[in-house]
A and B are shown apart, each in its own frame.
Chain A
Amino acid sequence: MSTVSTDTHSAAHGEHAHTSSFLKNYVFSLDHKIIGLQFLFSTLIWFFVGGMLALGIRWQLAFPWRPMPILGNLLATAEGGQIPPETYTMLVTMHATVMIFFVIIPILAGAFGNFLIPLMIGADDMAVPILNMASYWVMWPAFIAMGTSFFVEGGASQGGWTAYPPFALTQGDGQFLWLIGLTLVGISSMMGSVNYMTTIIQMRAPGMTMFRLPMTIWGMFITAILQAFALPVLTAAGFMQLMDLKMGTGFFIPEGWTTNNNPMASGGGQPLLWQHLFWFYSHPAVYIMILPAMGMVSDILSTFSRKPLFGYKPMVYSISGIAGLGFIVWGHHMFVSGMNPMLGMTFMVSTMMIALPSAIKTFNWLGTMWGGKIQYTTPMLFAISFVSMFIIGGLSGIFMAATPIDIFIHDTYYIVAHFHYVLFSGTAMAVFGGIYYWFPKMFGRMMNETWGKVHFTLTFVLLNCVFFPMHILGMTGFPRRLADPYHYETFRNLIPLNQFMSYCAFALVGVQIIFALNFFGSMFFGPRAGRNPWKSNGLEWQAPSPPGHGNFDFQPIIYRGPYEYGSPEVDEDYYPQTQPPPEADDETSKDE
């Protein structure tokens, strides 16, 4: 390897870092890599919290009103572990809120985005490091707001993660803190996305044209654009709801409104307005939650198929297409909301069309694997499972896009199946793959492959046991968010199936211990990785592992795209982006 000689350099870097104070380096750091890791650790902790909340939901669905052992004492102290209906609604609300706003969005954009963008484009840091630090530190008041909301009177928000007024407005301080937390997450994302766009546009290394960017960066770039344009709407809507809640305005409060059968201050507002504003952000947010994952999967698939990514440009065009279409499909969440049904037709057509870029991407992933030499490493298995599961999640979306069918399956478990296939079986699996893949770059050590594969196999099998039957539940009309669905005699025959799903869900959460042990164990005791353990082309693999301040110990000059695996031009099966082409060698030396 030509890069071995520079490894000593990185060790020197590392030692240098140790001489400064711990606080300065790891807490108040301006370094994009540290900020990325701060995001990673914070989101992994929230991932655990969100998982615990899900266990409460699954317990109640399997054994309604029975005291929940162990966790029940935390979730429902007063009731001796028995989950009361208001706690159940709190659980569904907070499970979704935590998973979406504190895990998936920040782990993709915050953790991977921060860590990878400068490394993959050849910059020494983000364009505005201080903004970057602020984007992480704004998350903390959000964490505190959401965290404390569990302990205020009335508990955390029970209004659903969509916070539909007027019901959300009947909530107390929990809803207030929820809105504060949401707004702060929005501010954090906004700071991040402005920074990402600037960095990607302005700070690419010489030779790194837009069409030589890895798909991960394209995913992050489009995500940043989506966030920058969609978030202001959510923030504004959040403030409007905040004012309705606390200051007596009536944006979302209809005339003559009553609650709990008592008349309330009336507003002359319109509850549907919130849904439009909320989904105008939250539908693009669906793509914010999947595009970076798609990019990461593309990189991993190409690396371990030892083959160029199939159809790079169509992939770029299709995610750009998603970004455009993503803004005109929000109404498909509102087909039966009471919105003019004429609009349902328009939104159905645009929604059907947005399935197209996803289909193109899936075919291209299959094309990437076709004729390759597939190495079954842990990140590769997670990436393949993303493709396999995304096929299910993508296809089930077509049912909901079809308006007449949506009349029946809207707000049933069919929807729950769909978004868990996209977000858990899709994004979360890609995130696991990304962690296994970039862990050597993050910490300079390898994760254990054997335990990684055990973790993969168990997670893959169990998640399908939990989420696949939800499709069938949805077909029976089994509604979401019911504290006790078996209150309806018709659903009583579904108890055994729900119990099976719950057992699998408990096991699914349980096997993540393997991941946690592997992660923390490898951080300290894993074998040293070297610069490029996967023999990968990407620019980030030319930097030391872990990269020191300023990332690169040489000036990266980019000669080609990141996917030139198996190129006939070189003997090895990989061809790093920085390696000068054989015949161009003379030219560059002449230039110098």
Chain B
Amino acid sequence: MRRFWSILFLLVPILGVATFVAAPYYNIWFPKDVSEHGRTIDNLFMFILWLTGIVFVVTELTLFWFMWKYDERSTKRPVKFSHGSHALEIVWTILPAATLLFIAIYQMEAWASAKMLPPDLKPIVEVTGRQFNWDFRYPGPDQELYTEDDIVRTDGKLYLPVNEDVMLRITSLDVLHSFFLPNLRMKQDVVPGMEQSMWFKAKETGGYDIVCAELCGWGHYKMKGRVYFLPRDQYELKLEEMRLEQNTMRAELPEEEDE
């Protein structure tokens, strides 16, 4: 039976690695990355995946080997009457400690640039989460939010210029939400009563999902939006089009946006 049990545990590293190897072929992998910093995050992920993957395989193989070799029936000599090894303890304290500290320090720059060092830009749009929709308010021609010429959209479609640093201001009207852009590797919880900002630079045009990633009620699953990245000229046209559309249907605007 020892063979059976050892091999059962040997399956863990084999199938574990196989899952990660096979997944991309079934197209179950990271969503397409269209942002400038997304590559950094993916690379950091892959770096840690390789590192932990090696530790995973080595430790699981060691476990398998010990199970295979040291089973009661095939081991004739007496057990190693050992209470531990000071030297080994020091080695396997310092090595992981150094590695973990390295990982932590190695991540700091990416974290700082994604969350701590905002570019000096005015918000290009204000995103408001409410049960269960994302509303968008564009500052309009005067570049100032909450003025006469704001464009307010409640259709869950966000238009942003491509190849430009953009700054988003995100708030919530009611409960916690989380503004998650899988294709831009960006996520920020939205807290009512607080203002958050998010910045990124998209590299490709097209429409991508906006997901709510913080439980916000029964309709959490359908709090879906789309973000469209357009070249600058098309983006301007789109804004103009939305502004005209809004001017013609001003009377039907929801009251809540009035200041």
CB-contact partner of A371 in B1, B70, B96, B185, under 8 A = B70
Shortest distance from the beta carbon of B84 to any chain A beta carbon, whole Å: 4
Q: Give A474 Cβ to nearest chain B Cβ, in Å.
A: 10
Which of the segments A41-49, A255-263, A278-286, A538-546 contacts the partner chain? A255-263
**Cβ–Cβ contact A338 & B188, under 8 A:** yes
Q: How large is the interface on B (under 10, 10 to 19, 20 to 34, 35 or more residues)?
A: 35 or more
Closest to A158 in B: B218
Other-chain residue from B82, B111, B190 in contact with A403 (beta carbon distance below 8 A) = B111
**Assembly CA distance A92 to B107 (angstroms):** 32
Q: In the complex the two chains form, is B56's CB within 8 Å of A411's CB?
A: no
Give, as a whole number of angstroms, the nearest-CB distance from B206 to chain A.
Answer: 13
Chain B residues whose CB sits within 8 angstroms of the CB of A160 once the complex forms: 215
User: In chain A between 214 and 271, which residues have their CB closer than 8 angstroms to a CB of chain B?
Assistant: 254-261, 270-271
The interface residues of chain B lying within 8 Å CB-to-CB of A480 are 213, 215
A475 touches B29 (CB 8 A): yes
Instruction: With a 10 A CB-CB cut-off, give which of B2, B44, B187, B219 has the most chain A CB atoms.
Output: B187
Known: A310-B82, A384-B63, A388-B9. Contact between A167 and B182, CB under 8 A?
no
The answer to the question of B232 belonging to the interface, with a C-beta cut-off of 8 Å to chain A, is no
Contact with B along A484-508 (1 / 0, CB 8 A): 1101101001100100000000000
Contact yes or no, A257 B174, CB < 8 A: yes
Interface residues of B in 35-72 (CB under 8 A from A): 40-41, 44-45, 48-49, 52, 55-56, 59-60, 62-63, 66-67, 70-72
* Cβ–Cβ < 8 Å partners of B186 in chain A: 407
Contacts of A457 in B (CB 8 A): 8
B149 located at the interface, meaning its Cβ lies under 8 Å from any Cβ of chain A in the complex? no
A63 CB, nearest partner CB in chain B, Å: 15
Question: B185 near A408 (CB under 8 angstroms)?
Answer: yes
Greatest chain A CB density within 10 A among B15, B85, B213 is at: B213
Of the listed residues A84, A336, A408, A484, the one surrounded by the most CB atoms of chain B closer than 10 A to its CB is: A408
In the complex, are the beta carbons of B93 and A311 less than 8 A apart?
no
Enumerate chain B residues within 8 angstroms of A392, measured Cβ to Cβ: 12, 16, 56
B89 CB within 8 Å of chain A: yes
Residues 168-202 of chain B, each 1 if its beta carbon lies under 8 Å from chain A, else 0: 00000111101010100111111111101000000
- Among A100-108, A140-148, A563-571, which stretch is in contact with chain B? A563-571
The reply to whether A376 and B2 form a contact with Cβ atoms under 8 Å apart is: yes
Q: How far is the CA of A494 from the CA of B31 in the complex (A)?
A: 12
Chain A residues with Cβ below 8 Å from B81 are: 307-308, 566-568
Q: How far is the CB of B72 from chain A (nearest CB, A)?
A: 4
Q: Which of A19-27, A394-402, A526-534, A578-586 contacts B (4 or more CB under 8 A)?
A: A394-402
Contact between A305 and B79, CB atoms less than 8 A apart: yes
Other-chain contact of B189, A86, A337, A349, A461 (Cβ < 8 Å): A337
B157 within 8 A of A: no
CB contacts (< 8 Å) of B75 on chain A: these are 372-373
Determine the distance from Cα of A494 to Cα of B182 in the docked complex, in whole angstroms: 16
A344: Cβ under 8 A from any B Cβ: yes
Check if B72 sits within 8 Å of A254, measured CB to CB. Answer: no
CB distance from A481 to the nearest CB of B (A): 5
Question: Known contacts A270-B193, A405-B48; is A259 also within 8 Å of B175 by CB?
Answer: yes
Contact A369-B66, Cβ < 8 Å, known A259-B174, A260-B131, A407-B185: yes
Give complex CA distance A364, B91 in Å.
12
Give bound CA distance, A258 to B173, whole Å: 6
A171, closest chain B residue (CB): B217
A312 partner, pick from B9, B83, B92, beta carbons under 8 A: B83
The stretch that binds A, out of B97-105, B119-127, B140-148, B234-242, is B97-105
Using A271-B192, A271-B193, A388-B63 as known contacts, say yes or no to A566 and B23 having CB atoms under 8 A apart. Answer: no
User: Which A389-444 residues have a C-beta within 8 angstroms of B?
Assistant: 391-392, 395-396, 398-399, 401-405, 407-408, 410-412
Give the Cβ gap from B90 to chain A, nearest Cβ, in Å: 9
> What is the CA–CA distance of A397 and B1 in the complex, to the nearest angstrom?
33
Residues on the B chain within 8 Å of A259, using CB: 131, 174-175
Whether A404 lies near B40 (C-beta < 8 A) is yes
> With A and B bound together, what is the CA distance between A84 and B221 in angstroms?
11
When the two chains form their complex, are residues B72 and A373 in contact, meaning their CB atoms are under 8 A apart?
yes
Q: Which residues of B contact A272 (CB under 8 A)?
A: 191, 194
Contact string against B for A residues 450-491, beta-carbon threshold 8 Å, 1 for contact and 0 otherwise:
000000010011001000110111011101111111011010
CA distance A403 to B115 in the complex (A): 10
A407 to B110, CA, bound (A): 11
Q: Mark B219-250, 1 if CB is under 8 A from A, else 0.
A: 11110100000000000000000000000000
Cα distance, A473 to B193, chains bound together (Å): 33
- Neighbour of A476 across the interface among B30, B41, B114, B191, CB < 8 A: B30
Report if B153 contacts A (CB, 8 A): no
Q: Which residues of B contact A (CB under 8 A)?
A: 1-2, 5, 8-9, 12, 15-16, 19-20, 23, 26-31, 40-41, 44-45, 48-49, 52, 55-56, 59-60, 62-63, 66-67, 70-72, 75, 78-85, 88-89, 92-93, 96-97, 100-101, 103-104, 107-108, 110-112, 114-116, 130-131, 173-176, 178, 180, 182, 185-194, 196, 209, 211-222, 224, 256
3 residue pairs, one from A and one from B, having the closest CB atoms: A254-B193, A371-B80, A311-B84
- Give 11 pairs: A residue, B residue, CB < 8 Å, sorted on A: A89-B220, A336-B189, A344-B115, A356-B96, A374-B66, A374-B72, A388-B63, A395-B52, A404-B111, A477-B30, A482-B221
